[in-house]
A and B are shown apart, each in its own frame.
Chain A
Amino acid sequence: MTPLLLKSYTASSCLGVGLTATAEALERGCSGLVACAFESVRLDTYIGEVAGVDTQSLPPALRTYDCRNNRLAELALRQDGFLAVVADTAARWGRNRIGVFIGTSTSGILQTELAYRERATDTGELPAAFHYGATHNSFSVADYVRRRCELLGPAAAVSCACASSAKVFASAQRMIESGLIDAAVVGGVDSLCLTTLYGFHSLQLTSRLPCRPFDRLRDGISIGEAAAFVVLERVAAAPAADAVLLLGVGESSDAHHISAPHPEGLGARLAMQAALSSAGLEPEAIDYVNLHGTATPSNDRSESQAVTTVFGGAVACSSTKGATGHTLGAAGALEAVICAISLRAGLLPGGTNTRDVDPLLTAHYLTENRRYPARRVLSNSFGFGGANCSLIFGLAG
């Protein structure tokens, strides 16, 4: 693929709101996970909740979109001068030449969960104020971002479970390459809700402790929420040396099981190899792999096997989900921004919470931060339904 510029990027998760807070927390090796006290949920688990979501207000013209997920999107859009860069980009290319592709798994479904508690006792009807299209529907968040950014180009929500907001980079890249658009706002937004908290609990996939990716004692995920956004644009003739570029995208399907990974990580391997091929790079060119690393026993085992098959056992890798929790449909975009931070700061983040790396996992897992001037990094995102996506980012100079 022709490389694309990450012209601007921002992320908000339990680790921090905006880039500076996120980068500082990564430098310190912090985790944002806390014991679950979300809404009325009573589950023995840890979660990653973003501070200040409930008090965030939407612009009056977009009031019908009001729900936790769009408040989280609004909070993140306001950080790091992101909206100003979107406006500059729109002025340069035209509002109808910029796409919006946002990954989400549950969008504003919390609104429907709450509305079901308020059903009329006689008719069973939902409350009059409940607005399905602007809140619950998967497209709600993409529609919100498109309107908030005052863009008129193509738009879609990508909803491939936990691979959603990695795949938005692929959608945007193809649409730019085909000439339909010149730039895109891509990102991922997923917020805490009862469906995922009780759902992953029903599958016995949540840990009672802060999640420990790649640890010998890992026993499940910690659910988090996040919003992360990137402006992707065609690369100018001579980008700055420290500019971050999208160099490769690779996707595959497991064809194995709706909620369990392929045991040997075959789909994951195909996605990483496709990303390398798309970037025109050999495996040796990758300095660091940001793993999907959810901390379930089977996910980490199959991913480790896939990484070792593609890269051998030498490449440094870690999962940042011990710090952020598994932010589901937002994980791909959040970890893309973490990769950009890593490249710019010369920091390979060690996996927080992991104490005792599972000796059966052959990938070279970092438990401590390492200072290293990485040039190219790869990020993995895999989801239910066997959806796999790998992205490669690198410095321009």
Chain B
Amino acid sequence: MSVLAYVDGIGVLGPGLAGWPDAAACLTGTTPYAPAATILPTPHLLPPAERRRTGRVVKLALSVALETVAHADLNPAGIASVFSSSGGDGLNCHEICTALAEPAREISPTRFSNSVHNAAAGYWSIATGAMAPSNVLCAFDASFAAGLLEALAQVAADRRSVLMIAYDTEYPAPLHAKRPIPDAFAIGLLLSPTRSRVTLASVAAAFTDAPAETLQEPALERLRAAIPAARGLPLLRRLALGEAGSTVLDYLGETRVRVQIESCR
């Protein structure tokens, strides 16, 4: 049993990877991968008041969401979305826990409002006017495949296009020592139930117990292993190659996800 969808857009942002064309070139070996700190753009999409209140996790998710929908030339207001993150806003969480350990226990109302795991999805909806359903998941190290499966199930069951964003940012010390995510990284996929003129490929996912595919380039493999959202990089490499093939993604222990890719270009 597998679930199928058509890939109508791709977005990537991470350490040394500034967008999908850049990442595709690194993943296919056309240009060498040079790790460097992730550069997060200002989310001009948001009204100034909201822009001031948002942290790295929102900047990351919104930037990748915009790149992902741009290829399809669709109005994002009508697209359902799935946001999947292994941890949410690490700095915001640290600030709240720090304040709660002080005698006064005064936490900022803005920090508390932004502490919800679905903050990025909420700001995406505010920024784009999207009133379509949005679901927000966490599956710890399995968060990329969990988001992909949720999005594919939505495409299959509801027959509508779904924007899937998997994204992670780092925790500061002292939580960093317990959860050592090194930097911000996100992947976006726009998935649709039917093939169109913008379709890049089809993907069909099913469960498997076969081992996960790793990346041969050592620095990219370190990235894949270090950040849960980057567990999707083997899928992006296959999409960048633009040919038929399959890959196995990490998920929950022995339960993994095989993705069959067919090019539509």
Contact = CB atoms under 8 A, between A and B. Distances in A.
Interface string A161-204: 10000010011011101111000000000000011001110110
A117 interface: yes
A154 to B, nearest CB: 6
Contact of B138 (A156, A174, A179): A156
A170 B146 contact: no
A258 B1 contact: no
Interface string B89-127: 000010011101100011111001111111101110110
Contacts, number: 221
A312 interface: no
Contact of A137 (B107, B123, B131, B140): B140
A130 B123 contact: no
B17 to A, nearest CB: 25
A203 B96 CA distance: 14
Contacts of A174: 150, 153-154, 156-158
Contact of B121 (A105, A153, A180, A253): A253
A142 B131 contact: no
Nearest to B151: A174
Nearest to A139: B140
Contacts of B117: 105, 138, 159-161
B128 A178 contact: no
A175 B154 CA distance: 8
Contacts of A158: 135-137
With a 10 A CB-CB cut-off, give which of A143, A252, A253 has the most chain B CB atoms.
A253
A94 to B, nearest CB: 11
Contacts of B212: none
B119 A126 contact: no
A132 B97 CA distance: 13
Interface stretch (B22-30, B169-177, B195-203): B169-177
B124 to A, nearest CB: 9
With a 10 A CB-CB cut-off, give which of B100, B113, B143 has the most chain A CB atoms.
B100
Contacts of A179: 1, 3, 156
A202 B96 CA distance: 12
Interface string B163-184: 0000000000111011100000
6 contacts: A123-B174, A159-B88, A175-B149, A178-B153, A258-B50, A258-B53
